């Protein structure tokens, strides 16, 4: 029986573990993949306070080392479901069951990928998912943005401020994002839009990326120094859908990261929120941990 079970070892989960251990609570982190989550795919981070520059892997290692040094335990396992049994929370995992007085869901959210040849190999090597994170690396360069919803339009508008040219590739004949964003983007002189285009493959060509697209059955090749894939995020909260309220797949919570289920909290990109950055995940982790500690002490 642990005081707090944390699902996910991204920045939110690791921060929650640090705060909970400093409060003297026993902590078990359950992670099915890589410690650090999505930030490990960032080759360079320049907007995390205290560090002018470091890689996502370096930041992940620092957070994990700190949590482990404080006495947090980490188990590599996949959570299948959450069961609430009176004052106990039971996580049913592939390797067995784990019990805790409180649970913090910090499973993150993965960027949806196009699943075309060459994409996976170039993630972090020219293909990115976040203009706020990586846009500065492509200043005065040509980039492509793939997608036509709000996220893609916002990414393209942000990149258009510093990049020499932004080409937006949309698989439909129109954008699906807000009209205001469309109008703002289409006024930009350095923005070009390609509609009804399907991405077929990516290939590294020297310093540029070759993007093969299909437009009305005709194959065409585009070239850019950076590509931003903005086709949405995909949270993985299905193991908890019977216990907590989900909205569009994300865990619904209040300001203290408390869900509708007493003793179950959430933190990071997996919860309903407007900004998803490493710094906001860390903030959530601290808030959720403090709230979980208070719950355990008063239970």
Active site residues: 130, 133-134
Placement of tokens 């910090």 in the chain:
106
Q: Would you list the DSSP string of 175-229?
A: --S-HHHHHHHHT-TTEEEE-SEEEEEEEEETTEEEEEEEETTEEEEEEESEEEE
Q: What is the C-alpha separation between 76 and 58, in angstroms, rounded?
A: 20
Interatomic CA distance for residues 99 and 83, integer angstroms: 9
**What is the Cα–Cα distance from 54 to 44, expressed in whole angstroms?**
6
Query: Which burial class, exposed, middle or buried, applies to 187 when counting CB atoms under 10 A from its CB (0-12, 13-18, 19+)?
Result: exposed
Tokens 């996976």 sit on residue: 120
Structure tokens of 224? 């850019």
The Cα-based distances of 262 to 45, 200, 246, 257, 299 in angstroms read: 36, 47, 15, 11, 10
Contact, 176 vs 199, CB < 8 A?
A: no
Tell me how far CA of residue 9 lies from CA of 55, 137, 146, 149, 232, in angstroms.
17, 27, 29, 29, 22
State phi, psi for 95 to the nearest 5 degrees. Answer: -95, 0
Q: Which residues pair with residue 224 across a beta bridge?
A: 209
């Amino acid at each position: 029986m642990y005081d707090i079970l944390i699902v996910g070892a991204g920045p939110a989960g690791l921060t929650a573990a640090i705060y909970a251990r400093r409060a003297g609570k026993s902590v078990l982190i359950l992670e099915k993949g890589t410690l650090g989550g999505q930030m490990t795919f960032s080759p360079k981070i320049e907007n995390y306070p205290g560090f002018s520059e470091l890689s996502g892997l370096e930041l992940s290692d620092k957070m994990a080392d700190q949590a482990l040094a404080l006495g947090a335990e980490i188990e590599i396992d996949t959570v299948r479901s959450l069961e609430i049994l009176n004052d106990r929370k039971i996580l049913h995992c592939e390797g067995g069951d784990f019990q805790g007085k409180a649970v913090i869901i910090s499973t993150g959210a993965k960027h949806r990928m196009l699943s075309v040849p060459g994409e996976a190999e170039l993630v972090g090597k020219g293909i990115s998912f976040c203009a706020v994170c990586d846009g500065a690396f492509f200043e005065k360069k040509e980039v492509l943005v793939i997608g036509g919803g709000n996220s893609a339009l916002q990414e393209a508008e942000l990149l258009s401020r510093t990049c020499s040219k932004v080409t937006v590739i949309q698989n439909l004949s129109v954008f699906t994002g807000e009209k205001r964003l469309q109008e703002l983007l289409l006024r930009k002189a350095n923005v070009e839009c390609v509609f009804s285009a399907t991405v077929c493959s990516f290939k590294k060509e020297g310093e540029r990326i070759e993007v093969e697209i299909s437009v009305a059955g005709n194959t065409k090749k585009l070239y850019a120094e950076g590509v931003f894939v903005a086709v949405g995020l995909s949270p993985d909260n299905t193991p908890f859908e019977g216990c907590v309220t989900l909205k569009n797949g994300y865990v619904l919570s209040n300001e203290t990261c408390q869900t509708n289920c007493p003793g179950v909290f959430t933190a990071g990109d997996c919860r309903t929120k407007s900004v998803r950055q490493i710094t906001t995940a860390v903030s959530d982790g601290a808030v959720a941990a403090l709230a979980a500690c208070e719950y355990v002490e008063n239970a």
